Structure 1
Amino acid sequence: MVENKRKTAKEIIEAYNGPKLRIMEVCGTHTHEIFKLGIRNIIPEDIELISGPGCPVCVTPVGFIDEATMLALDHNVTICTFGDLVRVPGSEMSLAGARSKGAKVQIVYSPIDAYEYASEHLDEQVVFLSVGFETTTPASCLSVKKAKAVGLKNFSLLTANKTMPSAYKALKGSADAFLYPGHVYAIVGTKLCESLACEGVSGVITGFTAKEIMTALAVVITKLQEGGSFFKNCYPRVVTPEGSKVAKAIVAEIMEDCDSEWRGLGVIENSGLKLKEEYKEFDARIKFHLPEVKGKSNPACRCGDVLQGKCKPSDCKVFGKGCTPLHPVGACMVSNEGACSAYYQYGGNING
């Protein structure tokens, strides 16, 4: 008796010969790993990998940068931020530009670093630029909780925290299926993905190794051929149905849902997080009476189209010319997780 040989993920992917499939890797880390691992070189032409709005720096709107520079220059605030945000262009200048005009911009590696900086510099008003998805939000909440507990008065957040489920709904139809980022769902659990599948949004949670990504792509291809909406957790060693109860609890304690602007996607209802009323003294917009800011992006930049999967970075007329990592026109070229950065680093003409 001859046993049927079980196909490997690579064999399933390479054997695909069907209608055009569009698979969106939402996470910027997935985008870079797929390039770095050479996965785009082995997929058939009928499978297109497109990058989505999974880079927190990339989806942060221009107006947020304008608010940060306003705080730094007009209110003499010390800005604490992750390094990628420093060079993201605002309407008129980046934080790097504000720093050249005398603004104080401090690079930190976590919200707790910003909290500690504020604790050690009580003569400075310190604002942490709180951007990111479900993975990084708990740390921002923890920093606020610690500040309230000790009565720290010179610390606050400028928030642009976002949640992914509403973005998937806004992108419905942009791709046949999504590769969901494993680290996000390690926090929130799988129930949200299961509910998205019931609403016609298909996707697979995956990790970041070659084996994990290839397995996820093979599952997506197989499921799409079977028809119907689906969800599969291909990262069970890290992601559980419940997620991190501790992380979710601190976010629920400190923050609440709000409408939020996404670069390229506009304002998405209940896709952001803001500090609750009882923590409003740590909200920089309230504390410094910031006016509503409408940012204006460079019209030559197509970051918004890239984030929606409407074009590849290499389709942008300034890609690799007027826009490079040293002289970025848009956020997607600045961030280490940005799609434009990945295309520039690994080759803009690579398949997909």
Structure 2
Amino acid sequence: MAAESAPAGAGLDAAKAPGAAPGSGAALDAAASHADAVEVLKGYDGPHVRIMEVCGTHTHEIFRQGVRRLLPPAVELISGPGCPVCVTPVGYIDEAVRLALECGCTICTFGDLVRVPGSRLSLADARARGAHVRVVYSPQDGEAYAEAHPEEDVVFLSVGFETTTPSTCIAVRTAAERGVRNFSVLTANKTMPGAYEAMRDSCDLFLYPGHVCAIAGTKVCEDLVAEGVSGVVAGFTARELVCALAVGVTKFREGAPFFVNCYPRVVRPEGSPAARRLVASMMEPCDARWRGIGVIPDSGMRLNEAYRGFDALERHGLAHEEGVEPRGCRCGEVLQGRCTPEGCALFGRACTPEHPVGACMVSSEGACSAFYLYGAATKEEK
């Protein structure tokens, strides 16, 4: 197993990190002879490689910063299930709409969720029918609003991966400590290891999300190498993304499974033990449905028994909704890397940012949104 640290710097000379496993830097030394990572990517002449951008922010930044223009035909980027809004199932939106319209709750949510279509209505539609839907920037904003408005039953819509789940826990803990009983959360929090396993045969290597690894650490990624799964952790600047991709294709050409941490200034092998302890003290794993993938066992997080009173469905006696996917929408296939957004007949026609059919066109991390915003410009420049 090759587990290395490769700081993103000018070219790949920086990839030869002190403390790397003995003998593991040979491929990086060879790549560094190209002078810099840009030239490594442009000059790649190895076998065809499919790289899955697990993180939706990576998808947008790779487009926005022009990284795709550097890639030869042999390097193919595909989208993955790393957009939390996109993988949230339709039934979750239906639950939020019911809480708003039937139970009279004030919904506090991140802006991306407001226009995601449910089976019949979006939260924007519910708001047009008189529901109280407020856009907030953090779970703490939702808790503070509930504390300031004790006459309202406030529900925060908690979606996200390892990166955002600790913030929800802090908000719930604060509400418990302050006796704010009109605050609850509708959880759709997920963890990434199950998704890596589900997507392992969809690509040749993963571009792992740097912010998730900053919390979770790198052990899961390192362990997957023993199962033949390769990947690199990437940051979010142009230099960090180019370095990670260059290291990835260089190591891929060697032919052996590998893992390299190309974001060591933020990601440590141990991640954030404090954040993980907080979540473990308040939440427990549960089976979770991912749009396009289905149910992944133990990939969700829900409030444990001690905090179950802050679970919105439990509090209002509602059952989980199954939901109905929009007809003709291929978001599920996009999230599995089985097609590009442009392979969907609705893309750019019936489905646009102004009139979205699927979540991938709504979210600021969605692949369809990225292709719509930047895809045409990229083609023209090529």
Fold agreement, TM-score > 0.5: yes
For 1:1-150, list aligned pairs within 5 A.
Answer: 6-7=33-34, 8-150=36-178
Query: CA-to-partner distance for each residue in 1:158-180, whole Å, 9 max, x for gaps?
Result: 00000011101000110000111
Residue 87 of structure 1 aligns to a residue whose secondary structure is coil
Q: 1:114 to 1:10 in 2, by over 3 A?
A: same
Range with greater deviation from structure 2 (221-230 or 341-350):
341-350
Distance in 2, Cα, partners of 1:177 & 1:349: 27
SS at match of 1:29: helix
Give me the whole-angstrom Cα distance separating, in 1, the residues matched to 2:344 and 2:65. 24
SS in 2 for 1:305: helix
Cα distance in 2 for partners of 1:292, 1:79 equals: 17
Name the stretch that deviates more: 182-191 or 306-315: 182-191
- The whole-number CA distance in structure 1 between the counterparts of 2:375 and 2:251 is 30
Gaps of 5+ in 1: none
Equivalent residue runs for 1:252-291 within 5 Å: 252-291=280-319
Are positions 1:219 and 2:247 aligned together?
yes
> 1:17, CA displacement in angstroms?
1.8
Q: Secondary structure at the match of 1:347?
A: helix
Amino acid at match of 2:33: R
Say which is worse superposed, 199-208 or 127-136, in terms of deviation: 199-208
For 1:50 and 1:252, the matched residues in 2 are separated by 33
Cα distance in 2 between the residues matched to 1:82 and 1:349 = 29
Task: Give the AA of the match of 1:67.
Answer: E
Among candidates 226, 246, 253, match of residue 198 of structure 1: 226
How far, CA to CA, are the matches of 2:220 and 2:38 in structure 1?
A: 29
Query: Aligned letter for 2:135?
Result: I
Q: Which runs of 5+ in 2 are unaligned?
A: 1-29
- Identical columns (%): 61
Counterpart Cα distance in 1 of 2:376 and 2:48: 21
In 1, Cα distance between equivalents of 2:238 and 2:313: 43
CA distance in 2, matches of 1:253, 1:193: 24
Give the TM-score normalised by the residue count of structure 2: 0.89
**Displacement after TM superposition at 1:228 (Å):** 2.1
Letter paired with 1:170: A
Alignment coverage as a number of residue pairs: 349
Aligned partner of residue 159 in structure 1, secondary structure:
strand
In structure 2, the partner of 1:317 is 345
Q: Distance in 1 between matches of 2:204 and 2:283?
A: 33
CA deviation vs aligned residue, 1:80-120 (integer Å, no higher than 9, x gap): 00000000000001000001111100110000000000000
Alignment of 1:239-250 (within 5 A): 239-250=267-278
* Backbone CA RMSD of aligned residues: 1.4
